[in-house]
Amino acid sequence: EAGVAQSPRYKIIEKRQSVAFWCNPISGHATLYWYQQILGQGPKLLIQFQNNGVVDDSQLPKDRFSAERLKGVDSTLKIQPAKLEDSAVYLCASSLDWSNTDTQYFGPGTRLTVL
Partner 1 sequence: GDSVTQMEGPVTLSEEAFLTINCTYTATGYPSLFWYVQYPGEGLQLLLKATKADDKGSNKGFEATYRKETTSFHLEKGSVQVSDSAVYFCALRKTGTASKLTFGTGTRLQVTL
User: Residue 92 CB, nearest distance to partner 1 (Å)?
Assistant: 9
Residue with smaller CB distance to partner 1, 78 or 105? 105
For 15-39, b/e burial (b = at least 16 CB within 10 A) is eeeebebebbbbeebbbbbbbbbee
Q: How far is CA 30 from the centre of its chain?
A: 15
Name the site residues for partner 1 (rule: CB under 8 A): 4, 31, 33, 35, 40-45, 48, 50, 55-56, 58, 91, 93, 98-109
First to last CA, the chain: 37
For residue 97, the number of C-alpha atoms closer than 13 Å in the C-beta half-sphere is: 3
CB of 41 to partner 1, least distance (A): 6
Amino acid letter, residue 78: K
Contact (Cβ atoms closer than 8 angstroms) between residue 69 and residue 48: no
| Complex with partner 1: residue 14 or 97, whichever CB lies closer | 97
In the bound state with partner 1, the residue whose beta carbon lies nearer, of 27 and 58, is: 58
Smallest gap, in angstroms, from Cβ of residue 47 to partner 1? 10
81 vs 108, beta carbon nearer partner 1: 108
Q: How far is the CB of 82 from partner 1 (least distance, A)?
A: 22
